[in-house]
Structure 1
């Protein structure tokens, strides 16, 4: 074990309510996660990121928390939680929880007390005003909320909510609120979590600084100090959707966030996929700052929200939308796409595998969302972001093997129609098929899990000699070259890249390649090839 373990891990994001229902009540639970730990281990998963498991009215998938220290009963008991940690540890898997510190549910006891009594200590736990204030912020969900201020009759004032009106913003400039958050962190760290994903971290930092980001980074330093005092290996992973130059505020000198979720690279990765050209991704990597010691980036393809494209120019955003979300109902909030990766890539297994290989090639810690490894689809009949939040498809059995409950009791409808229906798209159907997406993803992720240099070393973009080809070398004690073809057409690589590969051995490819050494290297459409050179050969 080491303090920089997060550089060498693969993170798998799970919504426990939608993963596996162990008791037939229609909702996934911790026992269900435990039951599938071996499945995750076979993919090389080293860290589980669990979406909120805390007490909540569940009007926002658990992000509307009513008690940060209480486990939501639908997920199981404290013993189930302890068992999950023990069983995960046996398999070398850590567990990271959400830390929702920017807001609470309006049913949280703090807010209930704040509404009742203007002189209560809890009144200053939230942000109030006699009149709506234009502080430069706009609603996070503009098609749902038309203001960030909500009148409360009982309180006799407006309260601020950047997100939904049932999620009042916490006053993080109040030291008493931060002290409460520290106690919450301490509680879960004592129970054995390896770290926290800080929800809406950039908004929280601004709130802590009274609207000034640079003045608010003290919050990250304070939380990081507390976390590492309890567990020196604890990691804070922040949701930081900002311009790349601003990442420095969130890293500090390695004393703030250990991992920054990199929306900047994520946006440009999809621009590269839309164009079938590597340039946007290369440009994005070159612009993002080198993180200090003790910090790094987290990279992913799709998550549980919309694919927010705010880091692109208006023209670039329109370009991505036209390729991956041509119909208006595929879009959300005027800025993003509410589709899963597989439908965006038309269900093409080779294209999806290429996207996963490309992700695993990037400098940073890769994150895989549950179901991405089998190419799960979306349900655009569901509103907003719920379209990408459907139960895991384990088998062709009833309810996709997710639950034995009646369909009306399920936490969300199963995808049972179209090309992504569970009857033909599920884990069991792909397990024994060597050409399935699941098999390809396993090979990619297992290979990535054994390449410490990708997380720890220095990287350099290589000249591939072709605009569709992304080529990168990672160097530490060992050296790896990873090459991906973003186009659907075969390509022949340039002489310079062929010369660079002298002395490297192939370790992964989308198909068998038996070309003689004197021939130029080729890639199939949506192909990928990885090579490695050991220390003795450097």
Structure 2
């Protein structure tokens, strides 16, 4: 059984994702339907109304394919199946059909930089030098000098691992149990195209492409044309030849000038996850000043028509701060991860948003107001809408991967299991699931959940905010981020966000009279004095303006 949807409609001028709000879900940790302690696709299906009611229009599901699950499902052992941990192919079909009924698009993962060492391709490759699968991977008789370095320094010391059965070394940029695929081989790229076709036939609306620069490193080795970026042309042409409305969202943690090549002329990636602006948002939050965001916006290239950046606050990995200078990174560490156990790989923070911001709902709402003010497509992380915490006793990036907190009851409403859960519940201090959960916040109109829901829905009511670019305004207050969305000199929307805990006054030109669309509860009570508009500490105001 496959699923199709009338929601798959877009035009070159206005693709569906231009107006999207994406909600990222870990299927192992969102909702358990069968009481085995692990989240699954049926559980996610039953909770899709929550995603819809939040104002999201697309659900991005982390890997649910065949896996030993040693790396959160990114260690894929079978690209063409739903792992029994998560359900069946029929469960996926029902999920996609229900999502489409609710007006939600569905995005899944294309994990093709590496496989699990339990994948049948690798098992056959290592035991038989004559196997056609031997060429699917990157081998060497001796560890070769290379410019690539381990993705997880301190955990993996080398990108080469010895395989006794093969009698050779294989390369792995990620964990040693995740051998790199050799995408310089035509046959490997053909396999990837067939994998994409399978999931497209089951109705998915797009892919988040994992580790794109690492893939391009291999395609560049095969053919340096366009620095190896030709593979993105090949992939985009393939998926669009079957489903013209499909979206490719790429994980591209590079300097901003590199984004141009990954977009191409909007013939490569439709969406780029914007690590550059993400890093500078946290630098701005640490300083309580808007300058880092304004500077970042001015230094990043505009996406081509029909393409967008994707912006987020936190995701399922560490907060990777490689786009900052050493001094800037030290500032963010000092503000949000002062203890060594809070830091990871020498470059990032292994904390969730709410603990980083001290569990302060006003600060968390302000951070979301900033993210939702940026040009591009916003991405929300499951649990951030209620301010979930972390578990620093868990290793590496798993500290931020804890069950969704639905209620204050048994197992946080995540599961009926009596034999343990996929991950421990957060039970510490103000982040205890009995103090922070969806059910309680649904009943409280002043809760973080209601604030974020109001922001998301207000943004969706402002079509000006879904463009490719915006214009920063100087409002005479260094702590206030002021962004104008709309044609220069014409009507549009001005979004104000005060990154400081201290109140500030935004000086708006008398030519910008505005109708308030949204404001935090404290700022709303502060009266304007002519063109001087007060914004509370960690407050925000969104205005519709005539000019």
**TM exceeding 0.5:** yes
C-alpha contact 1:457 1:475 (8 A) present in aligned 2: no
Paired residues in the alignment total 531
Aligned to 1:48: 59
Q: Name 2:423's counterpart in structure 1.
A: 412
Query: Partners in 1 of 2:384 and 2:278 — Cα distance?
Result: 16
Partner of 1:283: 295
1:78 to 83, 86, 89: 89
Contact 2:302-2:468 at 8 Å conserved across structures: no
Matches of residues 473-488 of structure 1 in structure 2 within 5 Å? 473-475=484-486, 479-488=492-501
Q: Is the 8 A contact 1:378 1:388 kept in 2?
A: yes
Does residue 159 of the first structure (1) align with residue 167 of the second (2)? no
Residues 484 and 527 in structure 1, CA contact (< 8 A), matched pair in contact too:
yes
Q: Is 1:34 paired with 2:45? A: yes
- Distance in 1, Cα, partners of 2:164 & 2:318: 33
The answer for the alignment partner of 2:106 in structure 1 is 95
Q: Which residue of structure 2 aligns with residue 385 of structure 1?
A: 397
Cα gap change, 1:131/1:501 in structure 2, threshold over 3 Å: closer, same or farther? same
1:489 partnered with 2:502? yes
The aligned counterpart of 2:286 is 274
CA deviation profile, 1:360-386 (whole Å, cap 9, x unmatched): 000110000000000000000001000
Residue 254 (structure 1) aligns with = 266
Structure 1 residue aligned with 2:518? 508
In the alignment, which of 420, 439, 442 is matched to residue 428 of structure 1? 439
Question: So what's the TM-score if we normalise by structure 2?
Answer: 0.95
Given the superposition, is the C-alpha separation of residues 350 and 498 from structure 1 closer, same or farther in structure 2, using an over 3 Å criterion? farther
8 Å Cα contact 1:19-1:402 kept in structure 2: yes
> Is the CA contact 2:305–2:468 (under 8 Å) kept in the aligned structure 1?
no
Residues 30, 81 of structure 1: 8 Å contact kept? yes
C-alpha separation in 2, matches of 1:449 and 1:73: 37
| Conserved 8 A contact 2:33-2:39 | yes
RMSD over equivalenced CA pairs, Å: 1.4
* Aligned counterparts of 2:209 and 2:468: Cα–Cα separation in 1: 26
Q: Aligned pair 1:372/2:380, yes or no? A: no
Instruction: Give the direction of change, closer, same or farther, for the CA distance of 1:179–1:452 in structure 2 (3 Å limit).
Output: same
Q: How far is 1:500 from its partner?
A: 4.5
| Post-superposition CA distance 1:493-515 (Å, at most 9, x none) | 12xx242531x211000023362
Residue 203 of structure 1 corresponds to which residue in structure 2?
214
Match of 1:76, SS? coil
**1:175: which partner in 2?**
186
C-alpha distance in 1, partners of 2:511/2:82? 53
Q: Quote the residue 1:2 is aligned against.
A: 10
> Match for 1:245 among 251, 257, 260?
257
SS of the equivalent of 1:403 reads coil
Cα distance between partner residues in 2 of 1:447 and 1:87: 25
Question: Alpha-carbon deviation of 1:519?
Answer: 6.1
Whole-angstrom CA distance in 2 between matches of 1:455 and 1:134: 45
Q: Is the 8 A contact 1:66 1:107 kept in 2?
A: yes
Q: Which residue of 1 aligns with 2:237?
A: 225
SS of equivalent to 2:250: strand
CA contact (8 A) 1:272 1:280 kept: yes
Deviates more, 1:2-11 or 1:44-53: 2-11
Tell me the SS of whatever aligns to 1:92: coil
How far 1:517 moved relative to its partner?
6.3
Q: How big is each residue's C-alpha offset from its partner over 1:111-151, in whole Å with a ceiling of 9 and x where there is no partner?
A: 01110111211111000000111211111111111100000
Q: Is the 8 A contact 2:303 2:468 kept in 1?
A: no
Match of 1:399 among 397, 407, 411: 411
Q: Give the distance between the partners of 1:101 and 1:232, measured in 2 at CA.
A: 22
* Secondary structure in structure 2 of the residue aligned to 1:419: helix
CA distance in 2, matches of 1:213, 1:315: 36
State how far apart, in whole Å, the 2-side matches of 1:284 and 1:417 are: 36
